């Protein structure tokens, strides 16, 4: 099998253009028909009908920005986790990290519900993401410890641990629903529908801040992550402080997934599909794979979200349903390919 | 989880210049290692000379792998029992050590579709040179290990022996900045190779030694060791029983004592090194 590597710019330029087209397209497409002229006027703050201006400035543009950041974070976390586990089936959703983060987020919503009335931002930007982060990192450490031995990571144990942890998180979420008071219940229901509808400017700032932080940190570790694919002892022999690297990457991934889950609920499979697509285009080298994953992740989520808005308009499907419809068959195909190794 | 959170030591202090002319590339003194009251390495001492090709031999479970892992730092805390180029192992900064000590493991877990050249280039991770330079070095080393024609092949699609030689090119790339202060450790490098490739790898190791790199390897094939080694270490039950040149190390008595097997040892008719044969066929 020969490896043909394209010039990076032959991949990145078209992807970037596609992303730009999708971003522009997504703000013109929606249940409310808005002509292109009106839309541009609304964006430039010129005189238009108030509902047009409202939809453009408060709904479609913020939502597009949130999609880009969340998609990129999910894709980056998936890429790094697959590298860390040295396994192409690792995905925050499948191995239970999203479940752990969701449990953390729900816990925060229930505990801090009495405060939500007075400090709404504290809840959405403070306690919920922090709890989601702790839930996510706990699960990642647990799954890594369960699934890895001196010969690498065991896919079977990793996936089974994911099943068990997701089930546990689901049960605990159910219990929380049962015990939550009315206010908390409302918040929980709203949150667990998991959509990009909560695109407020503070949320967008948090998402973009997280994305930029993750991207900068991951880029610095890209070469080390390449060496890590050889195995832990090999990476150690090449001068990498393996334990430090592992801990840092796990915490960063958990932070990324935790913030995504707390802002938009569980959106599966982006972290699974995108790294594969990226590797097909530029190979497993993380210095190229990470930026490409960020672009492709934003693109995928943007398209999925646009579809979710128009397909049953004026109602809206949760975007997780669209990504799952695309991702689950993909995952099954991967399982077929890996059958011999599990 | 506790293991992940445990602090890793940060030894960046008291590190002197490594270019001490007389310092042995590797000095092991009174090294022992126990796991659950079982002694795997028992008070081993030896020092390698510059440019020496040293082969470790011994029956299964003799402690060969443990010895290599102690030297590479994978297990145990070496303390001051292991010195590399005059400096205790544990005060070497990680990045610098990687430029002087490279290890070729028996197996690698890599399953992602890097090309063979990309794998060889990974060895340049801690080198302070440009990517282009690393690529050229990696290609030279792939030439030396006879895998340059596979450069664009997908690593996972290579055979075991080809993978092994790609990794050899990788560790050579890692040592390319060592300036005569390189120690290469190989754990059964010939296990997946055919006859011709086994000899090619050993001949390459000999050439490396002439270029000033010191080589320590574990082998199972006594004859391969006899033909190429400058020095042989015979291990049994964690102890270093014999430490000498091939002709003195591989005698009928030593083999009987170490392997509990009677062998016949002859001298090669032209080259003089010992040849080990089975004594009987029952």
Residue A105 near residue A132 (C-beta atoms within 8 A): yes
**Mean pLDDT, to the nearest integer, of A29-53?**
82
Cβ neighbors of A204 (< 8 A, separation 6 or more) are A62, A65, A66, A69
Residue with the bigger pLDDT between A231 and A313: it is: A231
Task: Give the SS3 label for residue B212.
Answer: coil
Which of the listed CATH numbers 3.30.110.30, 1.10.3470.10, 2.40.110.10, 2.40.50.140 matches domain A8-341?
1.10.3470.10
Q: Is beta strand B38-48 parallel, antiparallel or unpaired with respect to B26-35? A: antiparallel
Q: Is the peptide bond before A234 cis (omega within 30 degrees of 0)?
A: no
CA distances from A203 to A59, A69, A262, B17 (A): 13, 10, 10, 53
Residue A268 near residue A327 (C-beta atoms within 8 A): yes
Over the stretch A261-312, which tens digit does the pLDDT of each residue have? 888 888 888 999 999 999 989 999 999 999 999 999 999 999 999 998 888 8
Q: Exposure pattern of B132-171 as b/e (b: 16+ CB <10 Å)? A: eebbebbbbbbebbbbbebbebbbeebeebbbbbbbbbbb
Q: Do A144 and B115 touch (CB under 8 A)?
A: no
Q: How far apart, in whole angstroms, are the C-alpha atoms of residue A235 and residue B125?
A: 10
Q: How far apart, in whole angstroms, are the C-alpha atoms of residue B26 and residue B76?
A: 17
**Chain B residues inside the 8 Å CB shell of A227:** 122, 125
Closest CA to A331 of A250, A260, A271: A271
What DSSP line would sit under B185-201, residue for residue? Answer: EEESTTTT--HHHHHHH
Q: What residue spans define the domains of chain B?
A: 24-278
Range with the poorest average pLDDT among A184-198, B97-111, B264-278: A184-198
pLDDT at residue B225 is higher than 80? yes
Cα B98 vs. chain centroid, distance in angstroms? 14
pLDDT at B281: 63
Q: Does B182 touch chain A (CB under 8 A)?
A: no
A197/chain B closest Cα distance in angstroms: 37
Q: Is beta strand B53-57 parallel, antiparallel or unpaired with respect to B213-218? A: parallel
**Chain A residues inside the 8 Å CB shell of B115:** 3, 5, 283
B154/chain A closest Cα distance in angstroms: 6
Residue with the bigger pLDDT between B14 and A156: it is: A156
Q: Does B277 touch chain A (CB under 8 A)?
A: no
**Chain A residues inside the 8 Å CB shell of B157:** 1
pLDDT at residue B2 is higher than 60? no
Cβ neighbors of A214 (< 8 A, separation 6 or more) are A73, A76, A77, A252, A255, A256
Which stretches of B36-131 are assigned E, i.e. beta strand?
38-48, 53-57, 82-84, 87-88, 101-104
Closest CA to A190 of A258, A109, A90, A133: A109
Q: Is beta strand B182-187 parallel, antiparallel or unpaired with respect to B213-218? A: parallel
**Chain B residues inside the 8 Å CB shell of A237:** 72, 98, 101-103
Confidence of residue B49 (pLDDT cuts 50, 70, 90): very high
Angle in degrees, CA A264, A267, A270, rounded to 5: 130
Pair of tokens at residue A147: 């699934």
Which of the listed CATH numbers 3.10.50.40, 3.40.50.300, 3.10.20.30, 3.40.50.2300 matches domain B24-278?
3.40.50.300
Q: CA nearest B124 in A: which residue?
A: A238
Residue A60 near residue A235 (C-beta atoms within 8 A): no
Q: How far apart, in whole angstroms, are the C-alpha atoms of residue A18 and residue A91?
A: 25
CA distances from A13 to A10, A273, A299, B95 (A): 6, 20, 14, 35
Q: Which of A1, A230, A283 comes nearest B153 by C-beta?
A: A1
Q: What residue spans define the domains of chain A?
A: 8-341
Over the stretch A100-157, which tens digit does the pLDDT of each residue have? 988 998 888 888 777 766 766 666 667 888 888 888 888 888 888 887 766 556 667 8
Closest CA to A264 of A183, A203, A201: A203
Residue with the bigger pLDDT between A219 and A156: it is: A219
**Chain A residues inside the 8 Å CB shell of B99:** 239
Q: Do A238 and B125 touch (CB under 8 A)?
A: yes
Q: How many CB pairs under 8 A join A and B?
A: 101
Pair of tokens at residue B177: 């900045």
Q: Do A283 and B118 touch (CB under 8 A)?
A: yes
Angle in degrees, CA B274, B280, B282, rounded to 5: 145
Over the stretch A121-134, which tens digit does the pLDDT of each residue have? 666 667 888 888 88
Over the stretch B140-175, which tens digit does the pLDDT of each residue have? 999 999 999 999 999 999 988 899 999 999 999 999
Residue B261 near residue B255 (C-beta atoms within 8 A): yes
Q: CA nearest A139 in B: which residue?
A: B1
């Amino acid at each position: 099998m020969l490896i043909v590597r394209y010039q990076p710019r032959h991949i990145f330029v078209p992807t970037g253009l596609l992303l730009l087209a999708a971003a522009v397209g997504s703000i013109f497409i929606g249940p409310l028909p808005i002509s292109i002229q009106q839309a541009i006027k609304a964006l430039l703050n010129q005189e238009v009908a108030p509902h047009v201006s409202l939809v453009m400035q408060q709904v479609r543009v913020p939502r597009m920005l949130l999609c880009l950041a969340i998609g990129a974070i999910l894709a980056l976390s998936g890429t790094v986790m697959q590298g860390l586990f040295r396994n192409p089936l690792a995905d925050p959703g499948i191995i239970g990290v999203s479940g752990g983060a969701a449990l953390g987020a729900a816990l925060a919503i229930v505990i801090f519900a009495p405060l939500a009335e007075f400090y709404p931002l504290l809840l959405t930007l403070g306690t919920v993401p922090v709890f989601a982060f702790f839930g996510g990192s706990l699960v990642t450490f647990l799954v890594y410890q369960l699934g890895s031995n001196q010969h690498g990571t065991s896919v079977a144990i990793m996936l089974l641990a994911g099943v068990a942890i997701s089930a546990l998180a689901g049960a605990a979420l159910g219990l929380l629903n049962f015990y939550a008071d009315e206010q908390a219940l409302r918040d929980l229901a709203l949150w667990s529908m998991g959509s990009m509808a909560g695109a407020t400017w503070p949320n967008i700032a948090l998402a973009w801040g997280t994305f930029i932080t993750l991207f900068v940190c991951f880029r610095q570790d890209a070469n080390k992550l390449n060496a890590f694919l050889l195995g832990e002892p090999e990476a150690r022999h090449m001068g990498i402080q393996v334990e430090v690297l592992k801990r840092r990457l796990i915490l960063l991934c958990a932070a990324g997934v935790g913030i995504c889950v707390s802002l938009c609920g569980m959106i599966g499979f982006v972290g699974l599909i995108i790294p594969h697509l990226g590797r097909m285009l530029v190979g497993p080298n993380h210095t190229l794979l990470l930026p490409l994953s960020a672009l492709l992740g934003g693109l995928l989520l943007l398209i999925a979200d646009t579809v979710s808005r128009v397909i049953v308009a004026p109602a809206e499907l949760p975007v997780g349903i669209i990504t799952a419809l695309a991702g689950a068959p993909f995952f099954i195909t991967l399982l077929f390919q890996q059958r011999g190794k599990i | 989880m506790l293991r992940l959170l445990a602090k890793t030591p940060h030894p960046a202090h008291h590190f002197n210049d490594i270019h001490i002319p007389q310092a042995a590339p590797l000095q092991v003194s009174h090294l022992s290692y126990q796991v659950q009251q079982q002694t795997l390495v028992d008070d081993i001492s030896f020092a390698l000379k510059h440019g020496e090709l040293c082969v470790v031999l011994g029956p299964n479970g003799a402690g060969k792998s443990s010895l290599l892992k102690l030297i590479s730092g994978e297990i145990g805390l070496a303390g001051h029992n292991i010195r590399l180029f005059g400096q205790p192992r544990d005060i070497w900064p990680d990045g610098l050590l990687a430029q002087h000590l490279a290890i070729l493991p028996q197996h690698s877990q890599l399953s992602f579709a890097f090309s063979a050249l990309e794998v060889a280039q990974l060895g340049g991770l801690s080198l302070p040179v440009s990517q282009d330079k690393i690529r050229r070095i990696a290609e030279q080393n792939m030439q030396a290990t006879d895998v340059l024609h596979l450069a664009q092949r997908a690593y996972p699609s290579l055979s075991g022996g080809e993978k092994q030689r790609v990794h050899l090119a990788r560790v050579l790339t890692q040592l390319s900045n060592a300036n005569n202060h390189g120690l290469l450790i190989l754990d059964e490098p010939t296990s997946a190779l055919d006859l011709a490739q086994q000899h090619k790898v050993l001949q390459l190791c000999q050439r490396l030694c002439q270029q000033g790199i010191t080589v320590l390897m574990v082998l199972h094939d006594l004859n391969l060791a006899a033909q190429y080694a400058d020095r042989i270490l015979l291990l049994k039950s964690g102890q270093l029983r014999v430490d000498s040149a091939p002709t003195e190390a591989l005698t009928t008595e030593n083999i009987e004592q170490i392997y509990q097997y009677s062998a016949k040892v002859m001298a090669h008719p032209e080259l003089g090194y010992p040849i080990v044969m089975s004594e009987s066929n029952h």
